[in-house]
Amino acid sequence: MTVKEYFSNSGILMLLIATNVAVALMIGLSAWLLPDADEGMLMSWLVMPAEWSGFISRPWSALTYMFTQISFLHLLFNMLWLLWFGRIFIYCATEKQLLFTYLCGGLAGAICFLAVCNIGDPVPGCYLTGASAAVLAVMTAASVMAPNLELNLLLLGQIRLKYVALLCIVLTFLGIGGGNAGGFSAHIGGVIFGVFAPSLLSRSRSSKIKFDMMAPLRNLLRKMRARKRKVPEVFREPVGHSSPAVHSSPVPHSRQTDEERLDQLLDKVRVSGYDSLSSAEKRELNAISSRL
């Protein structure tokens, strides 16, 4: 897969990452260009305050906080995890469902944060920032949709996705990789939404509910998308696992027929997970991907 194909097949995912990076650059440039101004002025308009009075005066902060990182490491780890798990999510679902999961996971984190902080007297100056809740929602949803998907990790070998996601979630709650001590309640909200997101998305698909919040942009990205589709490497049979050779039919397959069959198999993976495929279907998936 070329770099152009990689980015064209991940439009919404790359848009989310680019937005987070753009906000971080905007904050850094404002501090550099306006050194005499209050450094926290811009941040105060983007982060989400814990007090109800502060939130009511800035309701947009429930959305902007999930694109605002407090440090370079905060940005780096959140975006790396969003990239890795977002790619897996896209192969199990769709890009617009990725956007829906990211935004709703972030909103679920914001609701939990407000609820917990206002049980007692909120700490003055406390606020919520970072994409951790939204990223955890995507991470959890991907691991629920394909829990036994095997990832080939450097130095560690093949590990199932559910264990990788669990490790990342634990590290986030420990404050490593972009977590922050004040955001535990938001992290819990993101994880909870991620657990139920696949079921919610499955029901919405069967009832034909569509999430068209960014229909114009999605249509533009669809025109730019490469027509050739390949099966992701993580869905292929692990190295060293031999499987019976798939003999081609005496009737030659046309490319259109292969693509239709590939769409059917990938749709089954999106709805029921990779483990729902039979051994014959897995071999067929690998055979078609090698021909396309």
| Residue 6: per-residue pLDDT | 47
The per-residue DSSP string of 194-218 comes to HHHHHHHHHHHHHTT----TTHHHH
Mean pLDDT (the chain, rounded): 75
Kindly report, residue by residue over 149-195, the tens digit of the pLDDT.
Answer: 877 777 777 788 888 888 877 777 676 444 444 578 888 899 999 99
Please give the Cα distance from 98 to 171 (Å, whole number). Answer: 23
Q: Band of the pLDDT at 208, cuts 50, 70, 90?
A: very low
3-state class of 220 per DSSP? Answer: helix
All domains in the chain, ordered by first residue: 3-217 (1.20.1540.10), 244-291 (no CATH)
Please give the Cα distance from 191 to 133 (Å, whole number). Answer: 7
* Res. 248: pLDDT tops 70: no
**Residue 197, Cα to own-chain centre: how many angstroms?**
12
| Residue 17: per-residue pLDDT | 94
Q: Band of the pLDDT at 228, cuts 50, 70, 90?
A: very low
Q: pTM for the complete prediction?
A: 0.64
Phi, psi of 175 (to 5 degrees): 90, 15
| Residue 107: per-residue pLDDT | 95
Please give the Cα distance from 172 to 73 (Å, whole number). Answer: 12
Kindly report, residue by residue over 97-115, the tens digit of the pLDDT.
Answer: 999 999 999 999 999 988 8
Mean pLDDT in residue range 198-212: 59
Query: 90 vs 32, 40, 256, CA distance in Å?
Result: 37, 36, 23
Rounded to 10 degrees, what is the CA torsion of 136, 285, 12, 133?
Answer: 0
